[in-house]
Structure 1
């Protein structure tokens, strides 16, 4: 099932699902007991998910629905992982923008975060004007949404804590990233975390490594990789982060980006106003945002 958060034409915001045709169906209208907030749905556990799936065939289509980020305001920062595809690690190391480490391929996951205020939904403009250096870049990524929370989650048990998967664009102001060493100021600007369009529930993804991620800029294919190419896989990321930080229902882990970002070109190909970034992950759908 592909769960979404949507706004109806009257301004109401609640949880729905995308059908096979990509139309938004109103789950709450056919089940008033279902939580209207995505984080609450996730926290309610398997019973709520099973009830939503059972109601989906009867749920009406919402004409004029606006799909928002599936979790419009995460409870805490989005966890992100840097340099987690080998070819991207190489292109980043060779770009001159990596001021954080000497090794090309990291020995352990490089974890940073993006504030909740960075999250925007499909179709919303990326506010490139907030980067005074004019070095805005894109990074298409698969993101993991945590279901059952916990601390000290073992790798062998990690996938039981996955609720589902969505798409994130880890938009980055490269000059700020380089200048400040720590990445949050380069990557955490308002609107620099487009997310969506849906959360594909984990039961629909028997092998997340088989998911294919592709990114286009103005129709030109820039990134194309499978999740199997990750240096540190999803169980490792969950184990690493949860070792000392409690993961909670609705927490988000962006797993890293493959090669093909703007700084990988000579000269770099940064985003400009009116550009359009389109990211697709098989099964989840398409996250597309114009650059403002």
Structure 2
């Protein structure tokens, strides 16, 4: 199932992508009453797990059969982030072998963890403000996101993916000068809008092996990153297990799993051209759709 959030009259609404369009769940319920409980927010689906997904799928099938004005044209909706308020946003740094090599960094022995905050979240199609008062070195990073579906603590690697609800795209935008100002990367990672997320949250059953997905970043039509999640140093099961040894993961937490080679930081210094006003960046991961955002200079 492909879930999404869209904005209507200033409110976040749950949608389900189907072959005929996006089903507006709240509007559908007004014209096609449900026989049982149906989740109406993305977090209700995540927290409800398999049962909630099954109930939602059954209802969507029933609503589509009945027909109505609740099917939206995807090109006309205003997206929100596909996970709207994660309790935790945990990031893994230097997690692709070739990316570590291009930045002349040693291959890490343990996952390098840092965090971002909800102020960085935005949706597909939204402009991202470049904070030009404090940085001129904003870089793109195509990344696979793990979305946790069940409370996880001290989880074995062999069972770790059982705790995953699904996956989505993110652009882990990074102000490199701010990131490298100190040993802590947080400042360069946490500017407003620096985590476009989506367009869809795709359930794990539709994705299959998360470490066998093609991943790309395209800037103004030029492919800048092209790799596969198999190049991760620490695969998704190992990441979930490792983090769960140190903190409790809860439904709706998201884990950004690192970026492959091809970022601006990996170029020789005289060839580094960072993102600028008007640049359009697209993140594509196999089975997860395309996430596109335009960079615009932040207004005073």
Alignment of 1:270-285 (within 5 A): 270-285=274-289
Give the TM-score, by structure 1 length: 0.91
- Matching residue of 1:17: 16
Question: Structure 1 residue 71: deviation in Å?
Answer: 1.4
Structure 2 SS opposite 1:144:
strand
Question: Structure 1 residue 20: deviation in Å?
Answer: 3.2
Question: Structure 1 residue 18: deviation in Å?
Answer: 1.2
Label 1:6 to 1:268 Cα distance change in 2 as closer, same or farther (>3 A).
Answer: same
Structure 1 SS opposite 2:103:
helix
Distance 1:131 1:85 in 2: 31
- Matching residue of 1:90: 101
Alignment of 1:43-62 (within 5 A): 43-57=47-61, 58-59=63-64, 60-62=70-72
Gaps of 5+ in 1: 94-102
CA contact (8 A) 2:3 2:200 kept: yes
Give the TM-score, by structure 2 length: 0.89
Distance 1:108 1:264 in 2: 22
Q: Quick one: which of 35, 56, 74 aligns to 2:86?
A: 74
Distance 1:170 1:90 in 2: 19
Gaps of 5+ in 2: 65-69
In the alignment of these two chains, the number of paired residues is 280
Label 1:68 to 1:206 Cα distance change in 2 as closer, same or farther (>3 A).
Answer: same
- Matching residue of 1:259: 261
Alignment of 1:1-292 (within 5 A): 1-8=1-8, 10-20=9-19, 23-28=21-26, 29-30=28-29, 33-57=37-61, 58-59=63-64, 60-63=70-73, 64-76=76-88, 78-93=89-104, 104-129=106-131, 132-266=134-268, 267-292=271-296
Structure 2 SS opposite 1:196:
coil
CA contact (8 A) 1:131 1:173 kept: no
CA contact (8 A) 1:15 1:38 kept: yes
CA contact (8 A) 2:174 2:188 kept: yes
Structure 2 SS opposite 1:240:
helix
Distance 1:41 1:247 in 2: 17
